[in-house]
Amino acid sequence: KIKIGVLVISLIILLSLSIKTINQNKIWNSVYRIWSNTIHVSPRAYGAYNNLAIECLDEDKFDEAIKHLKFALNANPPANQEATLRTTLATIYIEKKDFDQAIQELSRAVKLNPNMSEPYVNLGNAYCMKQQLDLGLRQYKKAIEMNPNSFEAHFNLGLFYYQKKEYNLAIQELKQAIYLKPELYSIDLYLAECYAKKGFSKEAIKAYKTALAKLPSQESHFIYYDRGIIYGKIGYPRAIGEFNKA
């Protein structure tokens, strides 16, 4: 159960929910205006177009994000900037489940800047979504070759091996992902599951407890659910209470 990059806050009182939504909209509009103003002042600030598209992507405004990216691409940016823009564009196509278009954009990004690891990671994701697993595996490994410290590459490769039930390889990659981003408790959950599948109960319980210690303090139904899962795995009687809160 992985929820990297997702912010979901459960509020009981409708008024509080409304206030929270208004504040979030204000923050989003403020950031959006910053990048829009940057583009107005510097029309060839390609990074600003990319950041603007990412803001739109975070709000599921896919068509608007694509519009910003294509506008920047039509301005003939330098090769490295074009590779970044096409990688972001491919991310949107993956979200829209247009994997063929994503692969096309990422293949161009790789040719423009073969030293970037991110396009290879996203190529791996796109190929795996199409069930072309051998091609996906090849791309994840290429990403690590380009950048051995790529969290995304190690994490996705770990999930790949987990899904393939190759738990020893999954453990190796997930450990590296944890080393690179130790604050993400969800990776410890996957690691614990790998240990459990291998029958290593002691290691599994240790990983579950590590995940428990990393759980965010804020209250949300996702956190309650994950806490309930961990309590259940390690035999804590409070598991049912956490599931009821969720």
Tracing tokens 């408790």 back to the chain, one arrives at 185
What pLDDT, on the 0 to 100 scale, is given for residue 19? 34
Q: Write out pLDDT tens, residues 95-137.
A: 999 999 999 999 999 999 999 999 999 999 999 999 999 999 9
Average pLDDT on 175-182 reads 97
Mean pLDDT of 201-214: 87
**Rounded to an integer, what distance in angstroms lies between the CA atom of residue 63 and that of residue 185?**
33
User: Which residues lie below 8 Å from residue 106, measured CB to CB, with a gap of 6+?
Assistant: 86, 87, 90, 119, 122, 123, 126
Closest-CA residue to 156 (of 134, 135, 141): 141
Read off the pLDDT band of 240 (50, 70, 90).
Answer: low
Work out whether the CA dihedral 183, 57, 41, 82 comes out positive or negative.
positive
CA distance 179 to 133: 26
* Per-residue pLDDT at 220 exceeds 70: no
CA dist., res. 198 & res. 146, Å (int)? 31
CA atoms of 74 and 93, how far apart (whole Å)? 18
Cβ neighbours, 10 Å, residue 215? 14
The band of 138, judged by pLDDT with boundaries at 50, 70 and 90, is: very high
Q: Using an 8 Å Cβ cutoff, are 105 and 86 in contact?
A: yes
Residues 124, 99 contacting (CB under 8 angstroms): no
Per-residue model confidence (pLDDT) at position 147? 96
Record the tokens describing residue 107, joined without a space. 């293949």
